[in-house]
Amino acid sequence: MSLDWIYYAISWILLTWHSAWDAIVSAEAVIGTNWSWILAIVFLVVTVRVILFPVFVKQIKSQRAMQALQPKVKELQEKHKGDRETLQKEMMELYRKEKANPLMGCLPMFLQIPVFLGLFHVLKRLRPDNSQPTLYGWTVDQFHSASHAKLFTAPLSGRFGSTAQELAALGANTGTVKLVAGVLVLIMIATTYLTSRQMILKTGWAEDPQQRMVQRLMLYGIPVSLLVSGSIFPIGVIIYWVTNNLFSLGQQQWVLRKFPPLVPAKTGAPARTSGQPAKSGGLFGRKTAEPAAKAPAAAPKVAGPKPGAKPVNPKKGSRPAKRQG
């Protein structure tokens, strides 16, 4: 299946934003940076995320529905232990009845993968020696401008792992490219980690061992893998990734406030509803002290009179009982 339609779509959005910013900011490099191309990549992210925002909201709602169904899922697992086929049918029926979709949690990420691959392919071909400058709707002038665009004198198509010959063809200094690309890779790793951490702090660690392992993989595995894969990403792609992470941090914070996660009740404690989100420690896990709830004052115990004892402080108007006989 040809992916040309993705390359044309990415190129069109990128070139549209570049034309808009080129009319506002200087076309010449400022501080060794062609800002119109940098801003074009940044607003490519904004465009994609705005388009996918309704999908992201559906993802959060689906996750909340899945959280609410966990007690019923556990009941089914106990009821059909050892009968995987029946369990799957019952769970699918439960999801259908409650309108919960387990796949919605991954949908926004999967929809962004073609954009990332498309940008990676488009930026990779922005070399001055490319024999097809007008591919995917580019003009010769646009191709020439983009292939020479820089961030602090490092070409957008340059990579941390680029050879000296490749960087020489781009007219770039090897040390500068490695420094700029290296710093961006570290920022990419840090923002990727913070994005995953933010979600886990808000939703809590899963009780299921397999789900918890997936959470740990998302939190630690993916950032570590970027140490290797980040060296092959063009600088323009890393700018896209970092911008996407920063957008995710802000978007998740807003959505998680709008749709707070359900927090399972602890033993002996009242369950919190969706309107009572758990207080997390924020992005970096700092916990805020909550005032301890004061227990209601217990009524003083009054000892009853002993048998045969005279009443103390009798009420006014009351007369002692007359003795018989």
Confidence grade of residue 125 (pLDDT, cut at 50, 70, 90): confident
Q: Do the domain assignments include residue 292?
A: no
Q: Do the domain assignments include residue 312?
A: no
- Per-residue three-class SS string for the chain: CCCHHHHHHHHHHHHHHHHHHHCCCCCCCECCECHHHHHHHHHHHHHHHHHHHHHHHHHHHHHHHHHHCHHHHHHHHHHCCCCHHHHHHHHHHHHHHHCCCHHHHCHHHHHHHHHHHHHHHHHHCCCCCCCCCCHHHCCHHHHHHHHCCEECCEECCCCCCCCHHHHHHCCCCHHHHHHHHHHHHHHHHHHHHHHHHHHHHHHCCCCCHHHHHHHHHHHHHHHHHHHHHHHHCCHHHHHHHHHHHHHHHHHHHHHHHHCCCCCCCCCCCCCCCCCCCCCCCCCCCCCCCCCCCCCCCCCCCCCCCCCCCCCCCCCCCCCCCCCCC
Q: Do the domain assignments include residue 91?
A: yes
Q: Do the domain assignments include residue 278?
A: no
Q: Do the domain assignments include residue 280?
A: no
The model's pTM is 0.71
Low-confidence winner among 22-31, 218-227, 265-274 (lowest mean pLDDT): 265-274
Question: What's the pLDDT tens digit per position in 92-105?
Answer: 888 777 767 766 66
Could you give the CA distance from residue 56 to residue 107 in angstroms, rounded to a whole number? Answer: 8
Q: Do the domain assignments include residue 22?
A: yes
Domain count along the chain: 1
- Which domain range does residue 173 map to? 3-258
Q: Do the domain assignments include residue 267?
A: no
Inform me whether the pLDDT recorded for 57 exceeds 80: no
Question: What's the pLDDT tens digit per position in 2-53?
Answer: 789 999 999 999 999 999 999 998 767 788 899 999 999 999 999 988 988 8
The predicted pLDDT at position 139 comes to 94
Confidence grade of residue 279 (pLDDT, cut at 50, 70, 90): very low
| Percentage of the residues of the chain whose pLDDT score is greater than 70 | 74
Q: Do the domain assignments include residue 15?
A: yes
Q: Which residues lie closer than 8 Å to 227 by C-beta, 6 or more apart?
A: 185, 189
Inform me whether the pLDDT recorded for 178 exceeds 90: yes
